[in-house]
């Protein structure tokens, strides 16, 4: 066993160094950052353009006394609720449709009038684009109603005295808010885990196909058992993926700190943030190794890149299905569907990460990680055996039922060694 582990580490170090210090890895690391940088620049430009145009305002084309009442009404209402549009008083009698149309046609400028309130308080009229006046109809109704009340009171400072509601923050959130927040945390964790796994696991395919084309895999197979080759490649690719995640995570953390954000936008998971992140890293390793072991077996059987794409498509679609299974089980904690999602090895990392956000127990995660690790071991052994039989053409013939007998042989040998 010690010699077998040493051979695995030799292959892992070889692949890890070869990939990590290659120019293609640098472009691989920087590749996902380009869309983020472009989106950030586009958002900044959009905000700059929006700031240049200014805030859309409501023009008031009424008699001076009624315009003053509307202004006072907005001041009264804004103390109780926000979201009211800004007001621009249009001096003079500008109630005719032609004058209102000319005001709206000015576009962005010093006043930025997007709609005009004209007429009187008893018969108001709101003019402007359909989308704008439909969105402002409720706000304008409140303004006119408050202005009428102030007019009836005939008080220059008779603003409405809104009742003061005392806020009593609790040390602990309500169970409904806490459960809803943890569900959002679980969904975010599942989605991030799935995206990282699907993004990074594909490297295993290209690496093995390239070495098959260059006959390197035959040299390795002559010196090291295929099981050790497969395990070493998986560990190397996992190490490379963790380096990529560290780089991307650092950039994301700096961006959140620069923007004033952080984990406060998500609720604290049931196991706490440190344990949740540790379990997330462990479940990423399990999900990556499970999917990578399948991709490694496919890459070993495929002779060309086209065959790789054809054979890997069903695996990718199946991975989407197990992700949907894990996402669906999130809303059925404690039911049979959650147990099924936790037992199926390919959905287990996603289901158990969601469980870490919802349930405080730790011991089920150790069982789940051991279960997923067992399946990684079995899949790699089966894939290496298939590679020897189909590609290397070594070993005795298994007859018509070769695949089934081969899988039974691999599982029997694996349990004996375990």
Q: Supply angle C-alpha 59, 53, 259, rounded to 5.
A: 120
pLDDT score for 393: 62
User: Which CATH number is 56-153 given?
Assistant: 3.40.190
Torsion 193-199-204-205 (CA) sign: positive
Q: Is 171 exposed, middle or buried (0-12, 13-18, 19+ CB in 10 A)?
A: exposed
Nearest CA to 290 among 215, 376, 382?
376
Domain segments of the chain: what residues? 56-153, 175-417
Q: Which pLDDT tens digit goes with each residue over 52-100?
A: 456 788 888 888 888 888 888 888 887 776 678 888 888 655 567 788 8
Low-confidence ranges of the chain (pLDDT < 50): 51-52, 158, 395-403, 406
pLDDT score for 284: 95
Nearest CA to 16 among 216, 206, 235?
235
CA distances from 412 to 40, 296, 344, 383, 395 (A): 54, 22, 21, 15, 17
Task: Return the number of other C-beta atoms located less than 10 Å from residue 208's C-beta.
Answer: 26
Within 8 A by CB and 6+ apart from 413, the residues are: 381
Q: How does DSSP classify residue 367? A: H
Torsion 97-102-105-110 (CA) sign: negative
Nearest CA to 179 among 361, 354, 323, 368?
354
* Beta sheet of 124-127, edge-to-edge order: 86-89, 57-61, 113-119, 124-127
Torsion 331-335-337-340 (CA) sign: positive
- List the alpha helices (DSSP H) in 106-174: 130-153
Within 8 A by CB and 6+ apart from 293, the residues are: 230, 234, 376, 379, 380, 383
Nearest CA to 316 among 198, 195, 163?
198
CA 247, distance to chain mean position in Å, is: 17
pLDDT score for 337: 92
Torsion 34-280-269-358 (CA) sign: positive
Contact 288, 201 (CB under 8 A): yes
Angle of helix 348-358 relative to helix 175-213, nearest 10 degrees? 150
């Amino acid at each position: 066993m010690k010699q077998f582990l040493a051979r695995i580490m030799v292959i892992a170090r070889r692949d890890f160094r070869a990939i990590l210090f290659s120019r293609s890895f640098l472009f691989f690391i920087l590749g996902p950052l380009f869309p983020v940088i472009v989106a950030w620049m586009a958002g900044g430009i959009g905000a700059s353009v929006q700031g240049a145009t200014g805030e859309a305002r409501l023009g008031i084309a009424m008699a001076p006394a009624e315009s003053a009442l509307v202004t006072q009404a907005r001041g009264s209402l804004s103390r109780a609720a926000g979201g009211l549009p800004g007001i621009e008083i249009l001096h003079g009698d500008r109630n005719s449709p032609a004058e209102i149309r000319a005001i709206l046609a000015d576009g962005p400028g010093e006043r930025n009038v997007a709609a005009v309130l004209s007429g009187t308080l008893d018969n108001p009229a709101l003019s402007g684009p359909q989308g704008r006046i439909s969105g402002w109809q409720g706000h304008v109704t409140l303004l006119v109603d408050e202005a009428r009340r102030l007019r009836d009171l005939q008080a220059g400072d008779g603003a409405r005295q809104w009742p003061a509601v005392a806020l009593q923050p609790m040390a602990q959130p309500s169970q409904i808010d806490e459960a809803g927040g943890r569900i959002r945390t679980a969904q975010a964790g599942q989605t991030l885990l799935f995206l990282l796994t699907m993004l990074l696991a594909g490297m295993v395919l290209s690496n093995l196909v390239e070495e098959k084309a260059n006959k390197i895999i035959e040299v390795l197979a002559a010196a090291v058992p295929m099981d050790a080759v497969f395990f070493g490649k998986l560990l190397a690719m996992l190490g490379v993926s963790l380096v990529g995640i560290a780089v991307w995570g650092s950039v994301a953390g700096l961006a959140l700190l620069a923007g004033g954000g952080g984990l406060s936008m998500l609720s604290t998971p049931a196991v706490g943030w440190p344990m949740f992140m540790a379990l997330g890293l462990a479940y990423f390793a399990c999900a990556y190794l499970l999917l990578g072991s399948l991709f490694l077996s496919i890459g070993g059987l495929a002779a060309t890149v086209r065959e790789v794409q054809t054979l890997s498509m069903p695996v990718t679609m199946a991975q989407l299905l197990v992700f949907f299974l894990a996402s669906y089980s999130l809303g059925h904690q404690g039911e049979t569907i959650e147990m099924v999602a936790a037992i199926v090895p390919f959905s287990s990392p996603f289901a158990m990460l969601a469980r870490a956000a919802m349930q405080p127990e730790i011991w089920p995660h150790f069982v789940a990680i051991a279960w997923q690790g067992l399946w990684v071991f079995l899949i790699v052994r089966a894939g290496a055996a298939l590679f020897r039989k189909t590609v290397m053409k070594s070993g005795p013939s298994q007859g018509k039922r070769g695949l089934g007998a081969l899988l039974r042989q691999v599982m029997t040998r694996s349990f004996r060694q375990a």
